[in-house]
A and B are shown apart, each in its own frame.
Chain A
């Protein structure tokens, strides 16, 4: 029931130009590439628009997920030594 309502809201905002502008700004905002005016406009809008606020949270949570959950590999010990050796031989 709640999901249906949410989807209905989502559909209904697609036609609104302020939401369209907001969604265009979404990635600029989460990537920290937006101008101060754009940031202001965006936050004013999501303060009063639930579907855009949800979209913003989703975008943010995916970015966070990528940053925190992907395994970071350790550089193999011998790699740096091997590079340095090759370079010293080239000097």
Chain B
């Protein structure tokens, strides 16, 4: 999956075929991921386009028949961090306190801190869920999207994000606790959970 791997040398016909059959089928997931990172339709379009053009340019680093979706997501994530966030008009929304608390706690805490109930969760509507997810800092939001929405394995996530599997697990755990807190706050404000 990494760019340092053995280079292939595909013909133009092969390149077009790989692009059509292995890359383009993931465009729906890619666009939704991009939108959840940028919160803007035009930015999401640009990011997806940039990702696909890069993927094509570096196609010789891709081994046919391997995990194209993870490879594309990795390029998209890196494009977002390296180029896109700098160019974007919007400053990144980061809750530094959250990030700091997270990086200062290296142990995975096992706790049942939430009073959130299954019935409350089941009553939530799309906008409420979306607001809670979008309120998370981008690193936390990303692992939830990759794992719960896109169904990537821990190992795939580790490659997409360039972090060890242990970090994937602890970041997921932390992200889910933060999401529960947001949902809980929301539920309280709506008078659920009495």
Contacts and interface: CB of A to CB of B under 8 A. Distances in A.
Return the 7 tightest CB-CB contacts between A and B, nearest first: A66-B148, A69-B126, A75-B31, A23-B110, A61-B121, A61-B118, A69-B129
A20 B109 CA distance: 10
B122 interface: yes
Interface in A44-70: 51, 54-55, 57-59, 61-63, 65-67, 69-70
Given A23-B112, A66-B144, A73-B35, A79 B48 contact: yes
Nearest to A86: B53
A87 interface: yes
A54 B115 CA distance: 11
A40 interface: no
Contacts of B32: 72-73
Interface of B: 12, 15-16, 19, 24, 27-28, 31-32, 35, 41, 44-45, 48-49, 52-53, 56-57, 108, 110-112, 114-118, 121-122, 124-126, 129-130, 133, 144, 147-149, 153-154, 169, 172-173, 176, 179-180, 183
A49 to B, nearest CB: 12
B56 A70 contact: no
A83 B172 contact: no
A34 B108 CA distance: 17
B122 A61 contact: yes
A65 B31 contact: no
A31 to B, nearest CB: 6
A66 B144 CA distance: 9
Interface of A: 7, 10, 14, 20, 23-24, 27, 31, 33, 51, 54-55, 57-59, 61-63, 65-67, 69-73, 75-76, 79-80, 82-83, 86-87, 90-91
Contacts of B16: 87, 91
Contacts, number: 99
Contacts of A71: 126, 130
A65 B129 contact: yes
Main secondary structure of the interface of A (DSSP, over half): helix
24 contacts: A10-B112, A20-B110, A24-B108, A27-B176, A33-B154, A54-B118, A58-B117, A58-B118, A58-B121, A63-B148, A65-B129, A69-B124, A69-B125, A70-B133, A72-B28, A76-B31, A79-B31, A79-B45, A79-B49, A80-B24, A80-B27, A82-B49, A87-B53, A91-B12
B164 to A, nearest CB: 15
Nearest to A22: B110
